[in-house]
Homo-oligomer: A and B are copies of this chain.
């Protein structure tokens, strides 16, 4: 359905399995690998659009489930779409709402046609279907839109994952058929947990629909780390090399390097901004928790290797003061910093990939990470 020329993706360079690419969208290019900040309700928490641009964010995610319920997609359409609504003129991706209706609702009823669920806002009942997910995303007007899928964690039984794969395949076809706008890139989502056969089956069904971009769903949702990585590596084998690939939901620096190394182009996560609001920061040396008393008199920058406004303008002692006093400025500055760390990690990864030296880059990054006490204590 996509208009010729509205989108284009090319892999410009590879280093091992890692890819440096370029995705063209109606609102600008996305250079990959790329971390995408999450603006669930039409705003990245504590980070306004000028700051998103300052940290180098290229594309922002917004959430169909939440925007559908509040303020409603028609209001966004009346604004001329999300770009005008939220003041972000660059590319936007909307998820389909599938993840939320499966994970957030205690009272959901999953059928083969869709999911009935209760609104977290007012308890009202709603039915999400593939058609509704497409229509809602067309009203929201993002550049990149997602098929309605059933997210099935690898921790479920094989029968449950198999059923989710079947539904996801059927719903993908329904979404493909339902799409009426030709200026939105519809992404097919592969499910299958950590099961090789189910991943193959899900991928085959989606490939038959010939999507221009594919997402890897159902990972980072409770499965073991080695299963996750093995599954991403499998997806790298199964997906066509010339199609754009999006891993849904990874946002720690170590994990990002792992998925880049396995051929992923795009990824998102609430982690950097959520951590920031609790006083935690990514740094080149590891994770740092500003509530730690050791930073009370620390006049150094949050991360001496970072080029963000937070690290250039403020000390750890000041940031700790803001965090301890629950000042909004602390959330603003740490959110900006954490996003910059991930964006810059991707920028540097891209340079390394284009130089054919991604493995060396990963070694260099890891050597700097000293796994400070803060991180050991905050790791699960």
**Residue positions of A touching B, CB distance < 8 A:** 41-50, 70-71, 75, 78-79, 85-87, 296-297, 299, 309, 313-315, 317-318, 320-322, 324-325, 327-329, 331-333
CB-CB < 8 A to A297: which residues of B? 75, 78
Q: A331's closest neighbor in chain B, by CB?
A: B328
- Known A70-B324, A332-B48; contact A317-B75, beta-carbon cutoff 8 A: yes
- CB atoms of B325 and A70 under 8 A apart: yes
Number of copies: 2
- CB atoms of A327 and B45 under 8 A apart: yes
CB-CB < 8 A to A322: which residues of B? 41-43
Q: A84's closest neighbor in chain B, by CB?
A: B315
Q: A45's closest neighbor in chain B, by CB?
A: B328
CB-CB < 8 A to A87: which residues of B? 313-314, 318
- CB atoms of B46 and A318 under 8 A apart: no
- CB atoms of A79 and B331 under 8 A apart: no
- CB atoms of B327 and A48 under 8 A apart: no
- CB atoms of A317 and B48 under 8 A apart: no
Q: A327's closest neighbor in chain B, by CB?
A: B43
- CB atoms of A70 and B299 under 8 A apart: no
Q: Give CA–CA (A320, B324) in the complex, Å.
A: 29
Scoring A47, A71, A79, A296 by chain B CB atoms within 10 A of each residue's CB, the highest score goes to A71
Q: Give CA–CA (A322, B46) in the complex, Å.
A: 11
- CB atoms of A327 and B75 under 8 A apart: no
- CB atoms of B328 and A328 under 8 A apart: yes
Return A360 CB to nearest CB of chain B, in Å: 36
Q: A336's closest neighbor in chain B, by CB?
A: B48
Q: Give CA–CA (A7, B327) in the complex, Å.
A: 32
Q: Give CA–CA (A79, B313) in the complex, Å.
A: 12
Return A211 CB to nearest CB of chain B, in Å: 32
CB-CB < 8 A to A78: which residues of B? 297, 299
- CB atoms of A46 and B79 under 8 A apart: no
B42, B296, B325: the one within 8 Å of A41 (CB): B325
Q: Give CA–CA (A332, B47) in the complex, Å.
A: 9
Q: Give CA–CA (A23, B39) in the complex, Å.
A: 43
